[in-house]
């Protein structure tokens, strides 16, 4: 099987690396030619244009920073639609708008091809080891056809329903992660102000009902001072903005969501549009004059769980 992968950024590069590491015949494409060269040096083939990749491959995967970027790759000049046809498949791994991925998938279907939205969740460190989770929105026949690829890319694969459903659930999970990050920032700063030891505070949260995936990952990077989770504030804003749009489209009057958007808008003004998302704690550090640091915490996240072939997760019925 020959697979094409377009978008070798923080997440995409690690996902493509899992394919290459597991012996997949891989073609790659990215606007950054240094990234392309690094993959070619490891055994991948430079794909040239998206059209050329779709012409050569059975499946082309995109993992891009915005819906506009995906649209350009799919339906733009020299895009994958120009070589789409029966037996071909487009997998959208970007975190994107469900309506947009559905629109593009209809164009793929009109050419006789298949499409699925298959966003990932679990952090860059788990993308690097093939242990990340994957949501898959598509018909069951398409899901069964692409599952062998998805179980190389990730550990737990959930068929979420029709095309677009995975993208809706993905932005929901990123909204929850963002809300959790902000409450953790408030909790850590408040405990510091109250005189609590930060390492003890971390452990108290970890062993309690207040723990979470975000705490056990991002809190460590906050406390070490590295604050580099490989996820930037502009991507946070995109994702929580997409969640807010879903709520507005369905008449749900959210109260916390607009606050999250405003807090990160302020963070971008202070630290830059592409500042690391966990730097958001620095707003409260500046307001209080406190430093939320502790010795002994890692400066980067490493997934120490052994890589294993993935499997389908089925919800209870």
Question: Residue 317: its pLDDT value, please?
Answer: 83
Render pLDDT for 243-271 as a digit per residue (tens, 0 to 9): 999 999 999 999 999 999 999 999 999 99
Is pLDDT at 136 greater than 90 in this prediction? Answer: yes
Question: Residue 186: its pLDDT value, please?
Answer: 98
Question: Residue 181: its pLDDT value, please?
Answer: 98
Q: To the nearest whole number, what is the mean pLDDT of the chain?
A: 97
Burial 201-237 (b: 16+ CB within 10 A, else e): bbeebeeeeeebebbebbbbbbbbebbebbbbbbbbb
* d(C-alpha 161, C-alpha 140), whole Å: 8
The mean per-residue pLDDT over the stretch 18-41 comes to 97
Is pLDDT at 1 greater than 90 in this prediction? Answer: no
Render pLDDT for 273-284 as a digit per residue (tens, 0 to 9): 999 999 999 999
Confidence of residue 62 (pLDDT cuts 50, 70, 90): very high
Using only C-alpha atoms, what is the Rg of the chain? 20
The mean per-residue pLDDT over the stretch 1-27 comes to 97
Render pLDDT for 147-200 as a digit per residue (tens, 0 to 9): 999 999 999 999 999 999 999 999 999 999 999 999 999 999 999 999 999 999
Burial 69-83 (b: 16+ CB within 10 A, else e): bbbebbbbeebbbbb
Measured between alpha carbons, how far apart are the two ends of the chain, in Å?
A: 34
* d(C-alpha 136, C-alpha 33), whole Å: 30
- Of 213, 211, 187, the C-alpha closest to 292 is 187
- Are 276 and 301 in contact, with CB atoms under 8 Å apart? no
């Amino acid at each position: 099987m020959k697979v094409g992968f377009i978008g070798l950024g923080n997440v995409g590069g690690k996902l493509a690396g899992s394919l290459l590491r597991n012996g997949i015949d891989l073609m790659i494409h990215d606007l950054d030619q240094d990234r392309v060269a690094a993959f070619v040096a490891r055994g991948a083939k430079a794909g040239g244009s998206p059209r050329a990749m779709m012409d050569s491959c059975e499946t082309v995967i995109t993992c891009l920073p915005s819906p506009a970027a995906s649209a350009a790759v799919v339906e733009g000049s020299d895009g994958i639609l120009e070589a789409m046809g029966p037996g071909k498949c487009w997998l959208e791994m970007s975190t994107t708008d469900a309506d947009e991925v559905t629109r593009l998938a209809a164009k793929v279907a009109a050419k006789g091809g298949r499409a699925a939205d298959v966003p990932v969740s679990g952090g860059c460190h788990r993308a690097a080891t093939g242990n990340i989770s994957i949501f898959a929105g598509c018909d069951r026949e398409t899901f069964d056809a692409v599952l062998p690829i998805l179980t190389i890319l990730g550990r737990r694969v959930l068929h979420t329903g029709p095309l677009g459903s995975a993208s809706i659930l993905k932005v929901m999970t990123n909204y929850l992660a963002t809300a959790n990050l902000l409450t953790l920032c408030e909790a850590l700063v408040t405990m510091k102000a109250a005189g609590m030891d930060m390492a003890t505070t971390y452990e108290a949260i970890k062993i309690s009902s207040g723990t979470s995936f975000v705490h056990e990952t991002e809190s460590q990077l906050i406390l070490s001072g590295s604050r580099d989770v490989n996820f930037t504030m502009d991507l946070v804003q995109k994702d929580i903005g997409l969640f807010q749009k879903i709520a507005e489209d369905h008449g749900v009057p959210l109260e916390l969501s607009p606050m999250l958007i405003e807090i990160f808008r302020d963070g971008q003004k202070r630290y830059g549009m592409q500042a690391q998302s966990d730097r958001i704690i620095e707003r409260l550090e500046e307001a209080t004059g406190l430093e939320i640091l502790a010795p002994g915490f890692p400066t980067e996240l490493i997934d120490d769980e052994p890589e294993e072939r993935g499997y389908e997760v089925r919800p209870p019925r």
